[in-house]
Amino acid sequence: MVLKVIILAAGKGTRMRSNLPKVLQPLAQKPLLQHVIDTAQSLHCDEIITVIGHGAEQVKSQITGRHLLFTLQEEQLGTGHAVMQANSHYSESDTVLILYGDVPLTATSTLKRLLDSIDAQHPLSLLTVTLEEPTGYGRIVRDSKNAVQAIVEQKDANEQVLAITEVNTGIMAVKGSQLKKWLSTLDNRNAQAEYYLTDIISMAVSEGFSIQTTQPDNEIEVLGVNDKLQLQRLERQYQYECAKQLMQQGATVVDAQRLDVRGSVTIEPDVTLDVNVVLEGMVSLGANVTVGAHCILKNVQVAQNTHIHPFSHLEDCIVGQDCSIGPYARLRPGTELGNEAKVGNFVEIKKSKIGVGSKVSHLSYIGDTVMGNDVNIGAGTITCNYDGVNKYQTMIGDGVFIGSDTQLVAPVEIDSGATIGAGSTITKHAPANELTLSRSKQVTIKGWQKPTK
C-alpha cells in the first residue's frame, strides 16, 4: 500500500491575532504543523503533501521532514479546494490520509486504526468524536440503521441536525481513485460558498458505499487550535498527558500541573521531579535521580542517584552517577561530570570535563577545562579562558587542590597533586605535588592614618 498524507495548512488563523501563521504557533515549543508532520512520519508514509497558503514562505522555511513537499493554495476556497491542490501528488491506487495542520495531537495508533478500516468495499473512513459541546463542527448524520449519510456543516444545519453531538474531526482516510473522482464534481453551493471536502461523504453514500468511522482514545487527539486561549488549554492538556506518562513509568511528579516537557524524556525507576521543572529536547534520567524545584534541563543525560538541587540550569551536558548539582548551578554546553562530582551554588561550567569525585563547590567559573579526579576547587576560583580573541584550555591533574579566589590564566597546566595557594593568579605551569602561589607578602603599615574628609 502506498500511503500519501495530505495536510491542510493554508488557513490564516485570524483569531490568533499574530504575525506568526497559525500552524507555526508553538505547542510544547514545537510548531503545531511540525507535530502533525512528525505523526505522519511515524506512519511510514511515502509522501507528505502540505497545502500551504498564508505565510507560505515562513512555513516552508521552518518545517522539516522526510518525503515532505509543499503545494500552494493561493486562495482559500474551502477544505475540498485545498485537497484539490494536492491532486497531482497522489495516484488512483494510493491510499490518502487527510490531516489538519492545526490539530496537533492525533495518536499514531488512532490513525493506524483509521487506515486499517478502509478497503476496496469501504473506500472512505472518518475519524469522528462525540462532544458535549458540538457547536461549530460539521455533524455526522446517520440513518435509522446507524449508517453515515452525510456531514452537514454548522452553518448549513437545521435544528434537528444541530442537536447531533457526533462531529467530524476533519481527519479521514480515502482511496485515491475515489477521492479524485469525487473532488472533480464538488461545488460550492452552500452557506459559505466554499468547496467542502465533507460533501464527498454523501457522494460515497449515493454510490452505495458504506462509510466507516473510528473514534480516538482521547478527545485531546482531535482538538484543533483557533486562538491563543485554545492553544494554552491544549498546552496544559498535553503537559498533563506527559506528566501522566512519566508517572505511569514510575516517576514521582510532585505537581502534574507544574511540569513542562518540551521534547522527549526517558526515565529509570524512582525519579522525582519537583515543581516547575522544565525538560527540553532529549532528556534521560537514571534511577533515583531527583530534580529540584525550578530546574531547566535541556538535552541532558543524568546517571543514577544524582541530585540536582533547585534553580539549576543544565544544557547539552552529560552527568555521571552520584553527583550533586546546585542549588543555583549552571552547566553550559559541553560539560561532562564524572561520577560523584559536586558542583555547588553559583558555579558556571562550560565545555569542561570534571573528573570522578571532584568538587567545585562555590562561586566559580570553569571553562574549557579538563579536570582530573578528586580535585578540589576553592570558592571563587575562575579560569581566565578568553583573551578577548581566542579561547584557551586549562588542564588540572588528579588530586589537585586549588585555594580560594584563584585565577587560572589559560593556557595553563596544573599537574597532579599540586596545591595552589589561595588568592593566586597562576599564569605558568604548576608542578606536581608542590605548593605554588603568586602573592605578595602580607605587610602591615605601622601608624597608617585613615583618610579624613
* Closest distance to ligand UD1 from the beta carbon of 60 (Å): 15
Residue whose CB is less far from ligand UD1, 16 or 325:
16
**Binder to ligand UD1 among 34, 73, 305, 324 (CB under 6 A)?**
73
Tell me the window of 8-16, 210-218, 309-317, 340-348 that interacts with ligand UD1 (CB under 6 A). 8-16
Beta bridge partners of 284: 266, 301
Cross-strand bridge partners of residue 185: none
Minimum CB separation of residue 101 from ligand UD1 in Å reads 5
According to the binding rule CB under 6 A, does residue 86 interact with ligand UD1? Answer: no
Strand partners, 302: 285, 319
Name the pairing type of β-strands 166-175 and 252-253: unpaired
Q: Return the number of the residue (121 or 132) whose C-beta is nearest ligand UD1.
A: 132
Burial track 317-342 (b if 16+ CB lie within 10 A, e otherwise): bbbbbbbbbbbbbbbbebbbbbbbbb
In whole angstroms, how close is the CB of 198 to ligand UD1 at the nearest point?
4
Give SS3 for 172. strand
For residue 354, CA distances in Å to 243, 391, 413 come to 32, 18, 15
Helix pair 108-116, 32-42: axis angle to 10 deg: 50
What is the smallest separation between the CB atom of 133 and ligand UD1, expressed in angstroms? 13
Question: What is the total count of residues that contact ligand UD1 (CB under 6 A)?
Answer: 27
The reply to whether 260 sits near ligand UD1 by the rule CB under 6 A is no
Q: Between 180 and 219, how does the x/- string for binding to ligand UD1 read (CB under 6 A)?
A: ----------------xxx---------------------
Tell which one of 47, 94, 102, 368 touches ligand UD1 (CB under 6 A): 102
Q: Do 400 and 414 touch, CB atoms closer than 8 A? A: yes
**Touching ligand UD1, residues 347-406 (CB under 6 A):** none
Write out the H or E segment, with its range, that includes residue 343.
Answer: strand 342-345
362 is catalytic: yes
> Considering only 77-85, 289-297, 303-311, 404-412, which stretch makes contact with ligand UD1 by CB under 6 A?
77-85
Binding mask 216-235 for ligand UD1 (x = CB under 6 A): --------x-----------
Query: Is position 8 an interface residue for ligand UD1 (rule: CB under 6 A)?
Result: yes
Helix locations, 216-352, DSSP H: 228-248
Asked whether position 438 contacts ligand UD1 by CB under 6 A, the answer is no
Single residue of 101, 292, 378, 403 touching ligand UD1 by CB under 6 A? 101
Residue pair 326/292 in contact (Cβ under 8 Å)? The answer is yes
- In the complex, what is the shortest distance from the CB of residue 151 to ligand UD1, in angstroms, rounded to a whole number? 5
Q: Which residues are registered as beta bridge partners of 273?
A: 253, 291
* Interface characters, 134-173, with ligand UD1 (x: CB under 6 A): ---xx------------x-x-------------xxxx---
Query: Which residues, at least 6 apart from 322, have a Cβ–Cβ distance to it below 8 Å?
Result: 304, 305, 306, 339, 340
CB nearest ligand UD1: which residue?
Answer: 138
What is the distance between the alpha carbons of residues 413 and 418, in angstroms, rounded to a whole number? 10
The distance of closest approach from Cβ of residue 195 to ligand UD1 in the complex, given in angstroms and rounded to an integer, is: 8
Residue number with CB closer to ligand UD1 (125 or 169): 169
Give the helix/strand (H/E) hosting 349: strand 347-350
User: Is 55 one of the binding residues for ligand UD1 (CB under 6 A)?
Assistant: no
CB of 199 to ligand UD1, least distance (A): 8
Reduced to 3 states (helix: H, G, I; strand: E, B; else coil), residue 118 is: coil
Under DSSP, is residue 126 helix (H, G, I), strand (E, B) or coil? strand
Set of cell numbers at residue 8: 491542510
Active-site residue among 54, 67, 89, 362? 362
Residue 213's alpha-carbon distances to 110, 127, 166, 171, 193, in angstroms, are 11, 6, 11, 11, 27
Stretch that binds ligand UD1, among 9-17, 117-125, 330-338, 375-383 (CB under 6 A): 9-17
Among 6, 40, 82, 246, binds ligand UD1 (CB under 6 A): 82
DSSP code string of 300-312:
EEE-TT-EE-SS-
Among 32, 39, 45, 100, binds ligand UD1 (CB under 6 A): 100
Question: Please, what is the minimum distance in Å from the beta carbon of residue 103 to ligand UD1?
Answer: 7
Rounded to an integer, what distance in angstroms lies between the CA atom of residue 56 and that of residue 51?
9
Q: Which residues contact 247 (CB under 8 A, 6 or more apart)?
A: 253, 256
Question: x/- contact string, 11-50, with ligand UD1 (CB under 6 A)?
Answer: x---------------------------------------
Which DSSP state fits 391? B
CB of 232 to ligand UD1, least distance (A): 18
Cβ atoms < 10 Å from Cβ of 269? 11
Q: Which residues carry out catalysis? A: 362
Binding residues for ligand UD1, rule: CB under 6 A, are 8-11, 51, 73, 76-79, 81-82, 100-102, 137-138, 151, 153, 167-170, 196-198, 224
